[in-house]
Structure 1
Amino acid sequence: MQGRREALRLLGAGALAAGAWPVLAQGTRAPRLVTISGAITEVVYALGVESQLVGTDTTSLYPEAARQTAKVGYMRQLSAEGLLSLKPDAVIATTEAGPPVVLDQLRTAGVVLELVQADHSWGEVQRKVAAVSRAAARESQARALTARLDGEWAEVQKQVAADTGRKPRVLFVLSHSASPQVSGEKTAAHAMIGFAGGVNCLSGFQGYRPMTAEAMASAAPDVILTTTQSIEAHGGAEKFWQRPELALTPAFKRRALVTQDALLLLGFGPRLPVAVGELHKSLRAA
């Protein structure tokens, strides 16, 4: 165990000896970054510090350039060896990243670890911008981005608040695999439905549960919300509607379906104001 810890420490220390890093205007070497969250990776590009990005997790799919970055695996199934092989100075992730033992190994190796609390709020987006700016040593650049995003957020909130019509009852279905699930409270989907002026028709539990016929009948959603990836996994919208559980809902009768890209809808990144604005319009039109 001691030998493995020493090897990890040496891997981390190797970042300090790497000679090909970007150089800041003051002549100091720019920190090498690994991001563990598609939304955090978006912040890197929004700040214009992608030259410092040496690796990302598999949820980092936007912008297109992020798909070409070295991948370190899924955010909940990381390995210290894979991360440290990229010689990062800092790893930026949310509190959903893991496993915890890997995060401890990164700290032991001397890597700065920025963990952003994921609570599905606008504050989460602000914290992601702040964490990236600290890790990248670009805090002055972050002030302009934060001001712009705060303005966009205030504007979309105003637009949603101005809509005084009946709030649609919305059911979010996550169906990227053969076992569809529906979202309760304390989820990104629950928060997004509320931000967009809807009501999550499932309450009384937190997280996700399997989609059952009984749950669909009692939920009685006006609109089904899902990801474009869920629709693709089913082979199209018509195949999606063929699920027997959905036939018991008012949404089925009107084929009221709203879709949005998973990262845009659930990522809580710098595009959150855009996502909420689009979702609000789509829910009203459904």
Structure 2
Amino acid sequence: MKRRNLLLAALLPGLGTAQSQPRIVSVGGAVTETVFALGAQGQLVGVDTTSLFPADATRLPQVGYARTLSAEGVLALLPQLLLASGEAGPPQVLAQLQRAGVRVEVLDEQHRFDGILTRTTRIGQLCGREREAAQLVARLQQDWAARPKPPAGSVPRVLFVLAHAAGQLRVAGEGTSADAMLALAGARNAFAGVQGYKPLTAEAALQAAPDVILCTDQGLQAQGGADGLLKAPGLALTPAGRARRVASMEALLLLGFGPRLPQAVTELTGKLHGRAA
């Protein structure tokens, strides 16, 4: 591994002088989506497994899951630049990549709209797409200003359930992308006061007393639909469970905080304040 790193470190600077646009590995669904939105997908030589949109991203070579990267797997693609979300890691792998001559840029939007604009501008600079980034930022700002506002006086209590694996359901507390999305959609997190994701228990579900249960499309499918999800501990006895108010959205759209955020907030606002999907 050490010998290979030294060889790649020698090769990568040469690659940089041979072309003005860097060879990129993108880690993080929203980061990859932004690269595509800027028209820089031709520079991508690899992505991680969370890079699910657009569909063309899934046809690129993969370097594994964002949190468990392998330095050798990334270096095999001869990238000059690693664009990574704040969840990318582990840290020692990122350090290995830097020592091998790969430029590592960690881009965290901090679950804020302004953070998305800053990340978009920075990716544009790194990809040599400054003009496209400025245009995308302007369009995002226009779409954000035009998004519908939640109905006055309507603040539903919503419990987000992460349910991608059977028997491993977790609920979202504060400091999560789900919590930030609920706030943007004019809803109250029924699991507020708790940090991060915690295992779902019957006691927690009953105490949360949600008006709506929210999950991802993928999670709902994994549980066998609303009927399967409501078999989880305590959910059927909540106000949402008794009324069968279960809503879902595509995972990356709902939780990714990418360039489709105005669309995501608009869709989520409609689901939570109208009839659940």
What TM-score do you get using the length of structure 2 for normalisation? 0.94
Deviations 1:212-236 (A, max 9, x none): 1111111110000000111111122
CA RMSD for the aligned pairs?
1.6
Q: Which residue of 2 aligns with 1:75?
A: 66
1:49 matches 2:46: no
Match of 2:188 in 1: 199
Q: Distance in 2 between matches of 1:88 and 1:267?
A: 24
Partner of 1:269: helix, strand, or coil? coil
Task: Give 1:37's aligned residue.
Answer: 28
Q: Which amino acid aligns with 1:271?
A: R
Superimposed CA distance per residue, residues 244-272 of structure 1 (whole angstroms, 9 cap, x where no aligned partner): 42022000111001100111111110001
Q: Which runs of 4+ in 1 moved over 3 A?
A: 15-19
Superposition pairs for residues 170-181 of structure 1, below 5 Å?
170-177=158-165, 178-181=167-170
The reply on whether 1:104 has 2:92 as its aligned counterpart is no
Deviation at 1:6, TM superposition (A): 4.8
- Asked whether the equivalents of residues 96 and 118 of structure 1 are also in contact (C-alpha less than 8 Å), the reply is no
Contact kept in structure 1, 2:109 and 2:116, CA below 8 Å: no
CA shift, 1:96, in A, is: 1.2
Do the aligned partners of 1:33 and 1:135 also contact (CA within 8 Å) in 2? no
1:114 corresponds to 2:114: no
Q: Secondary structure at the match of 2:21?
A: coil
Q: Offset of 1:18 from its aligned partner? A: 4.8
For the residues of structure 1 that align with 2:129 and 2:183, how far apart are their CA atoms? Answer: 33
Deviation, 1:152, is 1.0
Matched with 1:24 is none
> How far apart, CA to CA, are the structure 1 residues paired with 2:86 and 2:211?
33
What are the ranges of 5 or more consecutive residues in structure 1 without an aligned counterpart?
Answer: 22-27
1:213–1:248 Cα contact (<8 Å) kept = no
8 Å contact kept, 1:124–1:268? no
Distance in 1, Cα, partners of 2:191 & 2:261: 23
- 1:78-157 matches, within 5 Å, as 78-156=69-147
Matches within 5 A, 1:247-258: 247-258=236-247
Match of 1:58 in 2: 49
Which of 237, 259, 268 is matched with 1:270 structurally?
259
**Could you tell me how far 1:186 is from its partner in structure 2?**
0.4
For residues 57-88 of structure 1, give each alpha carbon's deviation from its aligned partner in whole angstroms, at most 9, with x where no partner exists: 00001101001000000000001111111111
Q: CA deviation at 1:94?
A: 1.6
Amino acid across the alignment from 2:159? L
TM-score normalised by length of structure 1 = 0.91
Aligned pair count reads 273
Aligned mates of 1:118, 1:275 — CA distance in 2: 16
